[in-house]
């Protein structure tokens, strides 16, 4: 992290150091020993690079656990770390009110913390008003990417066909159920919300997911890159073919940006350790 600003001048890790100090215990060797012993849940500290037209952007993700703690962190532990960073945060207050007192909010379980690696006064955010029509658009987005009919009942469970094996055993909470990202940056009076569709569990095969996403984008005038997206995914899955399984598409997220344009992101994993990548050529 100390060398990154020489390549990305706007990078800042003030918040990263804060959460490393408050969400993890000191003693990396002890964490390594617990990992070797198979202690669950596993922890993660990840950096991600965004390649956008304006340059490189950086993000950091935390999936923390204290030493000798056999369960994920409780909401109270997450909140204590956030409050120490910024006690006067209206967005955080609104979120905690929802998570603490709302019947639906009480069902949520915190799993991961993410942030933009920029100076604190440059972070993204802003309140986006979402009309009811947009909620219906979200419904159609879910149906399209999961291969569901338009009239699929809202109260019915979504068909779940996770990839075989124990591929996601260490992070089951991130693939079982929908995932929501709440943006509680200090200047947000109300949290921004991003919806993550965990297609690696609920979607059909990767080809159907890709075509569903592309068709949905094209009907909204956003399909300029659709064909190239499909070719890119096909080139990444030469080991098995998109139609022969699932797991390349991990999430597809949905959020409104400040200019009311849909912000859609597709997340995929290249299956670098898939057995077919190491099979002898036929």
Q: Over the stretch 81-98, which tens digit does the pLDDT of each residue have?
A: 989 988 888 889 999 999
Do 116 and 47 touch, CB atoms closer than 8 A?
no
Report the pLDDT value the prediction gives residue 126, as an integer from 0 to 100. 45
**Sheet with strand 44-52: strands edge to edge:** 44-52, 55-63, 113-116
Q: Over the stretch 124-163, which tens digit does the pLDDT of each residue have?
A: 544 455 566 667 888 899 999 998 998 999 888 888 776 5
Predicted confidence (pLDDT) at residue 210 exceeds the cutoff of 90: yes
Confidence category of residue 270, pLDDT binned at 50, 70, 90: confident
Give the 3-state secondary structure of residue 15: helix
**What is the pLDDT averaged over residues 106-126?**
75
Report the pLDDT value the prediction gives residue 127, as an integer from 0 to 100. 45
Report the pLDDT value the prediction gives residue 171, as an integer from 0 to 100. 56
Q: How far apart are CA 163 and CA 240, in angstroms?
A: 13
Q: Over the stretch 42-84, which tens digit does the pLDDT of each residue have?
A: 778 888 888 777 778 888 998 888 888 877 888 899 999 989 9
Strand partners for 59? 48, 116
Q: At what angle do helices 90-101 and 75-85 cross, to 10 degrees?
A: 170
The pTM (predicted TM-score) of the whole model is 0.78
Q: How far apart are CA 227 and CA 231, in angstroms?
A: 6
């Amino acid at each position: 992290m100390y060398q990154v600003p020489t390549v990305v001048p706007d990078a800042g890790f003030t918040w990263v150091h804060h959460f490393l100090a408050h969400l993890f215990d000191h003693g990396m060797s002890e964490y390594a020993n617990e990992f070797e012993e198979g202690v669950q849940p596993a922890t993660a500290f990840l950096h991600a690079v965004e390649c956008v037209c304006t340059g490189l952007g950086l993000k950091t993700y935390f999936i923390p656990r204290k030493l000798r703690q056999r369960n994920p962190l409780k909401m109270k532990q997450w909140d204590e770390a956030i409050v120490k960073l910024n006690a006067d945060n209206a967005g955080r207050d609104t979120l905690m009110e929802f998570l603490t007192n709302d019947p639906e909010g009480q069902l949520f379980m915190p799993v991961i913390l993410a942030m933009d690696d920029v100076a604190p006064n440059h972070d993204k955010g802003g309140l986006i008003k979402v009309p009811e029509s947009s909620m219906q658009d979200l419904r159609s987005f879910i149906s399209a990417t999961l291969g569901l009919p338009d009239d699929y009942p809202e109260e019915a469970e979504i068909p779940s066909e996770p990839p075989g094996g124990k591929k996601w055993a260490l992070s089951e909470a991130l693939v079982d159920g929908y995932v929501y990202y709440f943006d509680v940056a200090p200047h947000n009076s109300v949290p921004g919300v991003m919806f993550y569709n965990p297609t690696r569990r609920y979607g059909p095969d990767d080809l159907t997911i890709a075509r569903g996403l592309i068709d949905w984008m094209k009907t909204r005038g956003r399909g300029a890159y659709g064909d190239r997206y499909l070719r890119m995914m096909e080139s990444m899955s030469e080991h098995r073919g998109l139609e022969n399984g699932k797991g390349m598409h991990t999430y597809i997220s949905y959020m409104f940006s400040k200019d009311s344009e849909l912000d859609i992101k597709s997340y995929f994993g290249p299956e670098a350790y898939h057995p077919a990548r190491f099979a002898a050529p036929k």
